[in-house]
């Protein structure tokens, strides 16, 4: 922790800050500058300790040095984690392709699309059973019926399943049906849900919040890990910015930045970042170029009739096109993609 | 709904869009422009309908006209709503002052601060029993013990109580103890929680999400209202932007903008927007100037020892100063504040 | 300057960083942490020096301690600056009211509005002679003719004049006609213009850029000051964020934050932040509440016919209403406003 | 143009809006909705016309349909533009590689780096002669001396040169020495500079502003085009968002979005978006994946000693690595890169 004092801080103010550091059991180190004093603090336990110091008179700013996450940090775990979901591996240097409909609308629709994506090389199936919708009047998902349909689709195609959990009370139920649980963007800091999902013990796909920083994203992973789930895959799906030419701004810069400080894998969701079909493939290839460990893509064979996010769904023919180009790109990067 | 076609849209594409509009049971109206065609759509039910049209070939953009919220809209309820929490009224043109500690840390601390804010004119008491913390290693609140302490503080001071609910399973329990339930920023789109809190039937203080738009904020109010709670007060507490000179960017512009389209009251939280004591009073007075119906302010008599957000807590002497100036400002605006 | 090393930094990497610090003529101070080493650096001259260190192997982050601005900093000038424009004073604790049309459209329009705002208590007149327009096809201002009209308006009303300069080649010319030169938002980092305007030697109103940080804003003030103009008033006019319910997001939090680190006055422009008439007065009063040293407001008596920004202009009757309420608010804060 | 009326708009308000539409010479078309009236407006000339309508009583919102740019729009120029800089072509489907030092520091440094990037496949040389620096105390560039050095580097390597212009008074001078003029991020809306640079008649590289929308970026291109320069290449170099894990947020989503509405080529600058060497290659490959027509990359053989932006410069060995992988990625996309 580093404390920057005001240039006009008085001697008694400086003395009081150092006393407070000692009271807290830490050690103070003077770093005199040209116009102001900085005080290095060692011996503190976590970034929270700053709150006991930053309101003191004469203090301009407190800068934490130690990162607030431990389990998610590369400091303690220098090698990349490889997360297994059945036989699928995230973080081994290759690119995992997850595909399927935004929402499970019916048994027919889901089985049909599942087979289409499996044939075209997807390694996992996605499909929403519980949909967190901005409007209370929108389609909210088929619930447990959808989970049964997804399980049947897995049986038919062999693809492991990922689906979103929105309610702490259904986390265990969902865990009985699927292979990987998803925490959605709007719930990234729903800590009650993180704790319950962490306790299920299955791998988790954690979507970054719409305005979550890198540290906040890793702190949410830390919640899952501290409650029993060490198999966490992060997903970047676009963030909120001032722009409106895409549904969200795909922040590819988080991929190398996260890999620098954490051992966890990170994938991207080009469907939710683009929001419109014409830009899904460019977003997907950008993610691969930036070093993503996987993609999760909406596919629908009748997107005009989809109950959720039809405009961003790729029809199977475009999904084939994406797989074809992505294979070449991955190959150029020394990686592979898909089955 | 307005559909903007590409300048290069072909006749068959235009025909297909109009057919699709008819299939959906709506009516199409041509609005020819110099370089492109726009098509007005009438008869649609809600903003969701756009998804059936915006992926069609030749469509550049679909612009919804009808707002997606109904109950929260001023269209159907032109007069301001006045929300009563015991004898306190939000939205009657005056400014409600809510004050108290960020977290209930102990019986002594809470009763002491409750009396200090009551003496200085606060009309309601705030205090966290369940704290949603970014880190799993931070103080998470005293839970039901805190609710009992808050109830005792109400008995001693006569101030109604507001506290945050974070878990759908404790919504009813919290409702038994307090007068107003709070939905926190990170849970603004936790729809499961919104539904459960809506069902409790007590007034709700809904904090705007860190990057929530005005429409999204009102849609979350709509969730509460559609599930039984019509007494919703919105709270602006700062949003995420590119700046770092305050903890969050207090968006005072949402106050007049929300009042233009909704009948619900809106208050501001200058403590969480500023994050540092020196700017709490300026943020508070800015909120009043912009037309806020109330303030919710962190007060602590020993902020250096607070377990949560000490640097932003006002000591009682500064809280008195805020009340003194705020009274004059409210008076100049034809309003009153506090007891 | 503080250097944070990677937890995995090797001894030779640490040795090399310290060598480089010595080569640059600075001194290194170890601050050992639990998981990583931090190195305090003293003796460096400015924030730029970081670039010689932050690319070195093993370095995670370099955090500057000293602020990059000197002349604009409160460190060297602890008292508030009071900037005089003729007899008008910015920064003496009161609120200066500047009002007038967005653009000088004609002699009649300008003289008429000038008299209307003077009668209602404005202390300075604004009016655009050179308009920086997003579109090359929009009205670009009357140029020198407008300067002559403004000078005539000053003669009739006694109000000092502020107008924007957009071209380094006309800075001296504009300086011959008006009392205060304005640097617009889009030119805040047009350093060539800042240098030329600084050399004119008249007071300058510097508008914050649309996404400028506090430090960047003060660095642009520093450019003016380093080139001869010490009479700089900053203007907050709203920044770019994810929201769309106002034309820009008025960032009132910069007012107390700037006053903490700089001695310069700061005013706000509620017309350009709101963009629509209904919210101009709320934005204006919010700015006063946050501690602004003045306001600059668009006023037009025929806003439907204005060639520029009509929807945000206050008609004279609403300007009177603003003055009336603002006087009460200022009075409650121990300040005065207007003539 | 579409006008959305308030749900509570009165009949006289509606009549007045329609009268005003007729006065302006346009035509009104009713689009009745369930709760409110929308009015389609045809016959208007440009997006500016909205200002005459959006302040009228009863009007909630005015939505422009026609885009404000004409020359930059794909509507009037459906085919991609191919921009030639000597023998280098932007927009022909391949990826142009521009590389070189951030700033020209000396003849030796520039000639040395020019040869290194030429050998490794760069097609154009970059190098700053006039540097727009946030601080008045930072290195500001060698000026005309640097232009002579760049011209000599072109002679030695055969690579065409691009360099930034910051002053309208030196635009013609710079045009005498180099092959392509660059408008920097901070000057994207310096309209005086755009006009002067447009008049030079050489191809222009226009960098997107730090918080510029797609429309604003194209309007700045329109300025150049309306003043005589039709050879405009856009450059995305990262925008301002709430994040801090990269120097700027590289917005790859603008690439497909821009190509949808404009015929102009767009390249990316992965050095200024990342700000740190470890993420330059991931940003570069992401840009190629998203469909960029080129890259502009900082290269320096002694980055620790660079006078400007050393931490983001690639050493030649990493530049070779980038070229190697980029060739494979381009190949997979049916493109080529470099010499």
pLDDT single digits (tens) A99-114: 999 999 999 999 999 9
Rounded CA separation D59/D4 (Å): 6
CB burial readout B183-198, b (16+ within 10 A) else e: bbbbbbbbbbbbbbbb
In C96-208, beta strands by DSSP E: 96-100, 124-126, 161-164, 180-183, 204-207
Pairs of CB atoms within 8 A across A/B: 124
Q: Which residues of chain A have pLDDT under 70?
A: 46-47
- Token digits for C293? 């040293």
pLDDT at site A328: 97
The verdict on C286 touching B (C-beta cutoff 8 Å) is yes
pLDDT at B47: 64
For residues B174-178, give the mean pLDDT. 97
Chain B residues within 8 A of D73 when measuring between CB atoms? 7
Q: Do B190 and A190 touch (CB under 8 A)?
A: yes
Cβ distance B65 to D29 less than 8 Å, yes or no, reads no
Are A31 and C42 an interchain contact pair (Cβ–Cβ within 8 Å)?
yes
Mean pLDDT taken over chain D: 93
CB contact under 8 A, D219 and C310: no
| Whole-number pLDDT of residue D138 | 84
pLDDT tens figures, B236-248? 999 999 999 999 9
Number of H helices, E strands in chain A: 10, 14
Mind listing the pLDDT tens digit for each residue in C181-238? 999 999 999 999 999 999 999 999 999 999 999 999 999 999 999 998 999 999 999 9
Strands (E), D193-293: 204-207, 232-236, 266-268
User: How far apart are the C-alpha atoms of C328 and C335, rounded to whole Å?
Assistant: 9
Q: How far is CA D114 from CA C315, D106, D144, in A?
A: 60, 12, 18
Q: Is C228 within 8 Å of C201 (Cβ atoms)? A: yes
Judged against a pLDDT cut of 80, whether residue D183 lies above it is answered with yes
Tracing tokens 């085919």 back to the chain, one arrives at D79
- Provide the residue count of chain B: 339
Q: Are C313 and C102 in contact (CB under 8 A)?
A: yes
Cross-chain Cβ contact D169/C167 below 8 Å: no
In the predicted model, what is the mean pLDDT of residues D243-253?
A: 96
Q: Which of A198-202, B177-181, C59-63, D282-286 has the lowest mean pLDDT?
A: C59-63
- Percentage of chain C with pLDDT > 70? 99
Which of the four pLDDT bands, split at 50, 70 and 90, describes residue B265?
very high
B61: tokens are 């953009």
Q: Which of B255, B282, B287 sits opposite C256 (nearest CB)?
A: B282
d(CA B260, CA D86): 57
Backbone angles phi, psi at C314, to 5 degrees: -85, 135
Which residues are CB-neighbours of C22 under 8 A, at least 6 positions away? C28
For residue A304, the SS3 value is: helix
Say which residue the tokens 């996010």 belong to. A309
Q: What pLDDT is attached to residue B311?
A: 87
State the nearest Cα–Cα gap between C266 and chain D, in angstroms.
20
CB C47 within 8 A of CB C66: yes
User: Using a CB-CB distance cutoff of 8 angstroms, which residues of chain D are in contact with residue A241?
Assistant: 239, 241-242, 249, 251
pLDDT, position B260: 93
Task: Find the CB nearest C241 among A4, A36, A242.
Answer: A242
What mean pLDDT value characterizes chain B?
Answer: 93
For C78-95, what is each residue's pLDDT tens digit? 999 999 999 999 999 999
- Does C63 sit within 8 Å of A40, measured CB to CB? no
Which of A2, A32, A241 comes nearest C2 by C-beta? A2
For strands D204-207 and C204-207, give the pairing: unpaired
Element containing residue A38 per DSSP (H, E): strand A37-42
- Does C27 lie at the interface with B, CB-CB under 8 angstroms? no
Distance CA C35, CA B37 (A): 63
Question: Is the per-residue pLDDT at D177 higher than 90?
Answer: yes
Report whether C287 contacts C89 (CB < 8 A). Answer: no
Contacts of C65 in chain A (CB under 8 A): 2, 4, 31, 33, 36, 38
Residues A240 and A32: their CA atoms lie apart, in Å, by 40
B135 with A219: Cβ contact below 8 A? yes
Contact D279 A257 (CB under 8 A): yes
SS3 assignment, position C126: strand
Interface test with A, best of B192, B232, B271, B272 (most A CBs within 10 A): B192
Cα-based torsion angle of the residue sequence D5, D9, D14, D16 in order, rounded to the nearest 10 degrees: -110
Structure tokens at B134: 């970014």
pLDDT band at D72 (very low <50, low <70, confident <90, very high): very high
Q: What is the pLDDT of residues A310-322, one digit of tens each?
A: 889 999 999 999 9
Q: Show Cβ contacts of residue C317 under 8 Å, excluding neighbours closer than 6 positions.
A: none
- Residue A136: per-residue pLDDT: 85
Closest CA–CA distance from residue D63 to any residue of chain B (Å): 9
- Cα distances from D166 to residues B101, D139, D201, in angstroms, run 53, 14, 16
Determine the Cα angle at C170 with ends C165 and C172, to 5°: 95
Is B257's CB within 8 Å of C249's CB? no
- What's the pLDDT score for residue B66? 74
Determine whether the interchain pair A219/B136 forms a contact, defined as Cβ–Cβ distance below 8 Å.
Answer: yes
**Strand ranges inside B184-326, DSSP E:** 204-207, 232-236, 266-268, 294-298
Q: Which H or E run includes C235? A: strand C232-236
Nearest to C304 among D46, D55, D310 (CB): D55
Sequence-distant (6+) residues with CB within 8 A of A10 are: A58
The radius of gyration of chain A from alpha carbons, rounded to an integer in Å, stands at 23
Measure the N-to-C terminal CA separation of chain D; round to a whole number of Å.
48
Rounded average pLDDT over B82-100: 97
Q: Angle CA(C41)–CA(C43)–CA(C45) in degrees, nearest 5? A: 105
pLDDT tens-digit map of C145-165: 999 999 999 999 999 999 999
- What CA–CA distance (Å, rounded) separates D179 from D202? 7
Q: How far is C66 from chain B (nearest CA, A)?
A: 16
CB contact under 8 A, C65 and A4: yes
Tokens of D190: 């310096």
Q: Give the pLDDT confidence of B139-170 residue by residue, as tens digits.
A: 889 999 999 999 999 999 999 999 999 999 99
Contacts 24+ apart (CB under 8 A), C152-156: C152/C107, C152/C111, C153/C110, C153/C111, C153/C114, C153/C125, C153/C127, C154/C125, C154/C179, C156/C111, C156/C114, C156/C115
The dihedrals phi and psi of C48, each to the nearest 5 degrees, come to -60, -30
Q: Give the tokens for residue B194.
A: 């919104």
Instruction: Determine the pLDDT at residue C47.
Output: 64
Task: Tell me if the pTM is above 0.90.
Answer: yes
Per DSSP, which regions of A10-167 are E strands?
Answer: 27-32, 37-42, 59-63, 83-85, 88-90, 96-100, 124-126, 161-164
- Which DSSP category does D22 fall into? H
DSSP three-state, residue B39 = strand
Q: Which domains are present in chain A?
A: 2-63 (3.30.70.1140), 83-332 (3.20.20.70)
CA pair distance D327, D337, nearest whole angstrom: 6
State the Cα–Cα distance between residues D109 and C70, nearest whole angstrom. 32
Q: Which residues of C touch A8 (CB under 8 A)?
A: 74-75, 78
Give the H or E element holding residue D96.
Answer: strand D96-100
Largest CA distance in chain A: 76
| Chain A residue nearest residue B190, CA to CA | A187
Task: Please compute the mean of the pLDDT values over residues C317-332 and round it to a whole number.
Answer: 98
If you ran DSSP here, which 8-state letter would residue C303 be given? Answer: G
How far is D55 from C310, CA to CA, in rounded Å?
Answer: 7
| Tokens 């979507």 -> residue | A207
Contacts of C324 (CB under 8 A, 6+ apart): none
Residues of D in contact with A284 (CB under 8 A): 289
| Listed range (A160-174, B132-146, B304-318, D35-49) with the worst mean pLDDT | D35-49
pLDDT tier for residue C254 given thresholds of 50, 70 and 90: very high
Three-class DSSP category at C99: strand
Assigned token pair, C44: 């460096």
Question: How far is Cα D64 from Cα D44, in angstroms, rounded to an integer?
Answer: 10
Residue B43 reports pLDDT greater than 90: no
Question: What pLDDT shows up at residue A238?
Answer: 98
Q: What values do phi and psi take at B161, rounded to 5?
A: -115, 140
Q: Collect all residues of chain A within an 8 Å Cβ-Cβ radius of residue D291.
A: 282
The structure tokens 């200002």 sit at: D51
Looking at the complex, report in whole angstroms how far the Cα of residue A278 sits from the nearest Cα belonging to chain D. Answer: 8
D95 touches chain A (CB under 8 A): no
A212 compared with C40, residue with greater pLDDT: A212
For residue D119, what is the enclosing H or E element?
A: helix D107-119
Task: Out of C127-141, C243-257, D22-36, pick the least confident.
Answer: D22-36
pLDDT of residue A337: 97
pLDDT band at D47 (very low <50, low <70, confident <90, very high): low
Average confidence (pLDDT) over D291-305: 94
At C67 the pLDDT is 78
The residue of chain D with its CA nearest to that of C54 is D311
A288 within 8 A of A95, measured Cβ to Cβ: yes
Q: How far is CA C78 from the centre of its chain?
A: 20
Contact between A234 and A219 (Cβ < 8 Å): no
Query: In chain D, helix, strand, coil percent, each to 5?
Result: 40, 20, 40
For residue B181, what are the β-bridge partners? Answer: B163, B204
Predicted pLDDT at A270: 98
């Amino acid at each position: 922790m580093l404390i920057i004092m005001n240039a006009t801080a008085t001697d008694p103010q400086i003395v009081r800050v150092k006393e407070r550091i000692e009271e807290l059991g830490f050690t103070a180190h003077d770093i005199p500058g040209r116009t102001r004093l900085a005080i290095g603090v060692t011996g503190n336990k976590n970034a929270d300790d700053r709150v006991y110091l930053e309101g003191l008179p004469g203090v301009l700013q407190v800068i934490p040095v130690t990162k607030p996450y431990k389990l998610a940090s590369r400091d303690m775990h220098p090698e990349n984690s490889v997360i297994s979901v059945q036989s699928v591996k995230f973080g081994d240097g290759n690119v995992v392709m997850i595909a399927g409909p935004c929402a499970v609308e019916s048994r027919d629709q889901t089985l049909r699309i599942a087979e289409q994506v499996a044939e075209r090389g997807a390694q996992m199936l996605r499909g929403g059973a519980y949909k967190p919708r901005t409007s209370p009047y929108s389609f909210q998902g088929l619930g447990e019926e959808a989970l049964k349909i997804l399980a049947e689709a897995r049986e038919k195609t062999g693809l492991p399943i990922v689906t979103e959990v929105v309610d702490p009370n259904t986390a265990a139920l969902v865990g009985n049906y699927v292979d990987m649980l998803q925490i959605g963007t709007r719930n990234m800091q729903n800590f009650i849900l993180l704790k319950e999902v962490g306790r299920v013990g299955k791998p988790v796909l954690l979507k970054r919040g719409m305005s979550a920083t890198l540290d906040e994203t890793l702190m949410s992973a830390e919640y899952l890990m501290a409650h029993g789930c060490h198999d966490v895959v992060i997903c970047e799906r676009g963030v909120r910015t001032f722009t409106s030419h895409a549904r969200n701004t795909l922040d590819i810069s988080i991929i190398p930045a996260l890999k620098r400080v954490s051992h966890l894998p990170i994938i991207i969701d080009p469907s939710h970042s683009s929001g419109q079909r014409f830009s899904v493939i460019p977003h997907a290839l950008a993610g691969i170029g930036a070093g993503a460990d996987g993609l999760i893509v909406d596919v629908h064979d009748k997107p005009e009739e989809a109950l959720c996010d039809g405009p961003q769904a790729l029809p199977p023919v475009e999904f084939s096109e994406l797989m074809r180009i992505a294979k070449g790109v991955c190959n150029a990067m020394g990686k592979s993609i898909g089955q």
